[in-house]
Amino acid sequence: MGPEIIAAIIAPVLTGTISLSMYLNKKNNDYITAGFERLHGTVESIERKVDDLRLDVAKNYVTNDVLTAHITGEEEWHIRFGDEMREMRDEVTGTRVIVDRMWMDFQNKGNLQ
């Protein structure tokens, strides 16, 4: 009776374990396959976007002379803007000195009376 009981207990456990491991392997395989398919779709989407960008860049391409002229214009604008800011800073400093003197004169007149 001992071997029959062992066979009755071990056989279902063993077959259940084998069935469970096969099921888990299939599920993992399906999950990994789905992940690779999503990755493939994403790579194709990025590839299309890069191709579109390449075409847009080719359509909007400018010559080196045009780009150099644009950069030079930007540099000149920045120089003019810096000069104007320096002039404005000098004017504000001068105005502040005048206002400070007027305030001091006002305070001194109030103290003299």
Alpha carbon dihedral 105, 108, 110, 113, in 10-degree steps, equals: -130
- C-alpha 93: how far from chain center: 41
Give, as one character, the DSSP assignment of residue 27: H
d(CA 88, CA 85): 5
The 3-state DSSP class for residue 22 equals helix
Alpha carbon dihedral 31, 35, 38, 44, in 10-degree steps, equals: -140
Q: Tens place of pLDDT for every residue, the chain, 113 residues?
A: 577 777 788 888 888 888 888 888 888 888 888 888 888 888 888 888 888 887 777 667 767 788 888 899 999 999 999 999 999 999 999 999 999 999 888 888 866 55
